[in-house]
Amino acid sequence: MTAHTLDDQAETVLLRIVRGTGTAGLAGIYPRLKVPAGAIIRPLLSVRRSQIEEYLRGLAQPWSEDATNVDVKHARNRVRHLLLPLIEREFNPAAPERLAELAEIARAEEEQWDKWLPGLRPQISGQKVLLDLAELNRVGLAMQRRIIRRAAEAANLKLDFETTDAVQQLVGDAGGSVELPGGWCVRHQVERRPSGGTSGTFLLFEKSDRTPGAKDYQHTLAWPGEIAVPEVGITIRARPVEPAGVKGENNSGQTNCPSYNQSQLLDALRLLPELTVRNWRPGDRFWPSRTSGPKKIKELLQERHITGAERTSWPVILSGSDIIWVRGLPEAEQYRATSDSVSLLIIEVL
């Protein structure tokens, strides 16, 4: 039995919202939770902390406070002492009660989903987890996401929304794949169904044989100059370009020598004299010029159906800690040449 209160519930829900969560996270703290030794019961979960303190004062009953509860270096304490009071003061005095109600609604939703999901279990075989695409296509998006997360849990993986959504997109994309944490990946696979022995297409969650980081590489490119990248069998050259050789309109409306498009060029004055050529790494982000904003390189490569070992070793170039070039994509938005650039650089694959 524990003494968690409604305030604890509200803080938990709010903290999960700002960190990112689904309905399972919104369910917050459960009033009763089964554990191997029995159950954890929280009888005060619907009572405000202030009500308990007032009751104890009426009994002249002292209580102790954990000194760490006021240390705002902890995220929960910042929610407790800063964020939640701000919301109560500026938006809704009953915000804790509303957050607790949201948790109750989410718990009921989760209980209902648990009743629907047992008939759609993933098939588990050694280091493989299979989801029948025919079954996935018979259900809606919300159910697909839950089935995918359940399959990932069978592989001891916890997927965030972004990764779950990427896997869900494979349902209608026969040529793609998605890399998961822990060296796992998801791709399409034709397998014989257990019932009836007919063949079908599955989403295969499979542990990769690749050791994380085994194929990582890194080279230094001083420009102007070129560097061989034997890991991918190419040579990359970085060389200056005269502004007169840039395709674009001048003041008379005529075009200059149409050698290069502006989008191919970088502003050389913004670059370090030595660049880093390496394969992309998990977490890398890149902003291709004239797009809405930066995205994970993993997503950009998935969109272009670049898979397997080719994707693992896909080359990028950095100036300092910033990725300025990704093979096959426009140059970086924040480093691209403009009409005011006086020193231009082009990066080419030879």
Write down the pLDDT at residue 143.
87
Write down the pLDDT at residue 116.
75
Which domains are seen in the chain, by residue range? 6-117 (3.40.50.620), 120-207 (3.30.465), 218-349 (no CATH)
Classified as helix, coil or strand, 167 is: helix
pLDDT interval class at 6 (50, 70, 90): very high
Write down the pLDDT at residue 174.
61
Higher pLDDT residue, 119 or 334?
Answer: 334
The average pLDDT across 260-289 equals 83
Higher pLDDT residue, 91 or 350?
Answer: 91
pLDDT interval class at 192 (50, 70, 90): low
Lowest mean pLDDT among 105-109, 194-198, 338-342: 194-198
Nearest by Cα to 265 from 249, 284, 244, 250: 244
Sign of the Cα torsion 234, 239, 245, 246 reads positive
Give residue 170's identity as a one-letter amino acid code. Answer: L
CA distance 17 to 228: 47
pLDDT tens profile 22-67:
888 899 999 998 888 889 999 999 999 999 999 999 999 998 888 8
Write down the pLDDT at residue 337.
87
Among 11-25, 123-137, 209-223, 242-256, top mean pLDDT goes to 11-25
Classified as helix, coil or strand, 22 is: coil
DSSP class per residue in 277-341:
EEE--TT-EE-BTTSSS-EEHHHHHHHTT--HHHHHT-EEEEETTEEEEETTSPPBGGGB--TT-
pLDDT over 90 for what percent of the chain?
A: 33
* Both structure tokens of 151: 């399959």
Write down the pLDDT at residue 124.
65
**Residue 73: is its pLDDT beyond 60?**
yes
**Residue 327: is its pLDDT beyond 70?**
yes
The average pLDDT across 286-303 equals 87
Write down the pLDDT at residue 325.
93
Lowest mean pLDDT among 193-202, 222-231, 246-255, 266-275: 246-255
Write down the pLDDT at residue 86.
96
pLDDT over 70 for what percent of the chain?
A: 85
The mean predicted confidence, pLDDT, of the chain is: 83
Write down the pLDDT at residue 121.
63
Nearest by Cα to 256 from 349, 329, 344, 348: 344
pLDDT interval class at 215 (50, 70, 90): low
Task: Report CA-CA distances (Å) from 220 to 225, 236, 275.
Answer: 10, 11, 6
Task: Report CA-CA distances (Å) from 233 to 214, 306, 349, 350.
Answer: 17, 17, 10, 10
Lowest mean pLDDT among 135-139, 161-165, 247-251, 295-299: 247-251
Phi, psi of 318 (to 5 degrees): -120, 145
CA distance 188 to 180: 15
**Residue 263: is its pLDDT beyond 60?**
no
Phi, psi of 209 (to 5 degrees): -80, -10
